[in-house]
Structure formats: C-alpha cells, structure tokens
Structure 1
C-alpha cells in the first residue's frame, strides 16, 4: 500500500509530508542514544578521574535503556504484562533469596551503585532481569529451533553476559562476593533462573520481533567486555 501524504499550506507554497515517514528514523535514533549513553558511562568508569560520579548514573542509564527498549514493543496486552511482572518479580525474589541465604548464587551483598534498596536488594534489579530476559529471548527467537532450545539459548546468552559483568560489578561497587571470588554456583544459579524465565517468555503468547532488543543486548555486552578488558 503506498504511503499516505499530507499537504500543508505555507506562506511560500505547499509542503508535502509523508505520514509515517519519520518513523524510519526512530530505531537508528534510539540505537544512537543507547550507544552514546553507554559510551559516556564507559569512558567515565574506565578513564575519568571521578568514576564514582558515573557509578551514580547507573540507575538512570538502566531506566533509559528500558524506555528505549519497550517503546518498540508491539502489543501491551495481558500476556505481556504478566510476563513483565513475572520476570521482574522472580528475578528480584531470587536476588533477595540469594542475599539472605546464599542459595542460588552464593554469598554476596549489593553496594550503593544501583540505587534504592528493598530487603538489601536494589529495586532496579527486577527491571534488569526483565530487560535481559526480554532481549536475549528475542535474539534466540530469531532462530528456527524448537522453543525449548530457544529457551536454553537465551539462558546461555545471559550467562555469556554475566561472565564479563561479574568482575566489572565487583570493581565498581555493584555488588561484592564475601569470599572475594566469583563462585561457580553464581553462573549455575544465573542459568537456572534465566531458564525458568526464558521458558515463560517462549510459552506466553507475547509479541516478538522488537527491533531494539538485539541492540540492547549487544551494546550491554560490548560495554561490559570493554570494562572487563580495562580492569
């Protein structure tokens, strides 16, 4: 179907606008904003004289990422809202359980960099779980595998990210391990919780195909790989 046009009269003549034509710029613009903010954060943490200032900007960066990502979601129906609520709640609850019992991940505690806490866990952790499950789920959904394989693939992508995230998180006061070593149980627990939520993502009839999702995961992966190499 040809694009509709709208003619606007101006003092110098008629200006023809293509309705919806501006939408083609939304994705490149959103990716550019995402890259710029992460680049500033990367420079500030790795090379500035005041990395503590940039640590304080982490919650804002996470919120911005969420806004950019979910602004491209196609259907905000009951299934999606259930998925979002479950992903955030399960992720946050797993962290609360981990903090207070040492189960799932190991003995660790959160620092101040991720902002306001509830039960010693930053409130934004639930949102972070949602962002990661959603973006890795989208990437795995691009394959033609059966849904159980997609769920495993999405979980492995999250473990890949966590391999670089963990040393960076300790360095910049996101959290710290009481043993001063990152235990294997962390990656096993991370995979287990991720797999549970990836199955939920695959099972629920929510809209897939968010074009921003792969960029969110890739930019975050490059961000943490870069910081890891600078340690």
Structure 2
C-alpha cells in the first residue's frame, strides 16, 4: 500500500512555461556572468542561490508529495553530504580533493548546497529515465550513467571557478567510479520508492545544466 498523499501539485501550463523559461534564462545569465571577468566574482557568489532556487522550483512542480518522496528528498541530501564528508577527509571515495569557497556555507569542509545538487541531479535524471520502457534496474543504471556523464562536463568548470579542486593535475578515474556507485544507490531509491515520477521541469533543468557546463567548459 502506498503511503498517504500529503499534497498534490496542480500548477497551470503557463506557470510551468514561466518556470522553465526562468531556469533557461538564469543559466544563460550565469554563462555570461561567469565568462566575463568583470562580473565573474558576483556570479560566483550567487552560485549556491541558483542551486537552491532551482531545487525549489523542482519541488514546487513535483506532482505528488507523500512520505516516500520526502524520504527520497532527505535521503539524497544526507547521503550526498555524508559521502562528500567521507570523501574529503578520507580520499577513499572520489580521490584527493577539497572544496573552495564558491559554494558557500560548509559543514565539516563540505558545502551544504552539495546535498541540494545531489538531489537535483538524481531527481532530474530519474524523472527523465522513468519515461523509458525498460526494467527498473536498467532505468536506474541509465540514470546513474547520465549523472556521471554530466559530472564529466562539470569537472573543468568546477575547478576553474573554485567549486572544488583536485590535488592531482587531472580528475582521477576513481571520481567517476565513486560517482557511479553513489548515483546508482540514489537511483535505486528513486525507482523503487512509491512516489510520482513526473515533473515537467526536470528535463528543462537537466538540459539547462548540461548546456551551462558545456559552454563554460569550452570557454575555460
């Protein structure tokens, strides 16, 4: 039996279009602001705010709220922050790296907004792959691979703008293997927990982030 419904989102098509347009414009502004040295410091400061606003819009357009979804939300946030704390202090999970100052408030040397980012990526890719006609295990693996693929494009941008930095000159293979393992755990939770897998903003936010990092990656 599914957990009882707490709330159901019922927003208009116009509001969906406005939110999608806002996300695309915000990411385009971020590309221009970060690419231009004069405005770069200011746009670096608002990077955590952009992630929080993006996550808030996703949550507003989630189709149904129940206990399973709240659990998934908290699970991805806490697992994301927790595994990063272990990673930063042990160098076992992803390799030897440290966070810079761009992503804001830290707990145990890990920015809290990183947990928000893990939720955004796992949720968006999960929603996208949920529409495919594959068994749940295959969907979860494909979504996890999408997360790793996006991280591949995130890395050069993150290093340049002081999101984080690696002790080695190149990103270690261990990072991508660690990402795949953590991402798959999150995707298994997404697939098997009984909550709605529909969100009209998920594809727009994922594509906005992909274009954002592809363009900035070509510049830096």
Q: For 2:167, which of 157, 178, 189 is the aligned residue?
A: 178
Structure 2 partner of 1:109: 98
Say whether residues 1:125 and 2:114 are aligned partners: yes
- Which runs of 4 or more aligned residues in structure 1 lie more than 3 Å from their structure 2 counterparts after TM superposition? none
Matched-pair contact (CA < 8 Å) for 2:23–2:54: yes
Give secondary structure in 2 for the equivalent of 1:76.
Answer: strand
Residues 1-231 of structure 1 mapped to structure 2, 5 A cutoff: 23-231=12-220
TM-score by length of 1: 0.89
Give the structure with higher Rg (CA).
1
Q: Distance in 2 between matches of 1:24 and 1:78?
A: 26
CA shift for structure 1 position 209: 1.2
Point out which structure has higher relative CO (alpha carbons under 8 A, 6+ apart).
Answer: 2
The CA RMSD measured in Å over matched residues stands at 1.2
Task: Provide structure 2 residue ranges, at least 5 long, that are not aligned to the other structure.
Answer: 1-9
The TM-score with structure 2 as length reference comes to: 0.93
In structure 2, C-alpha distance between the alignment counterparts of 1:120 and 1:180, rounded to whole Å = 21
Name the CA distance, whole Å, in 1 between partners of 2:52 and 2:79.
Answer: 19
Unmatched segments (≥5 aa) in structure 1: 1-19
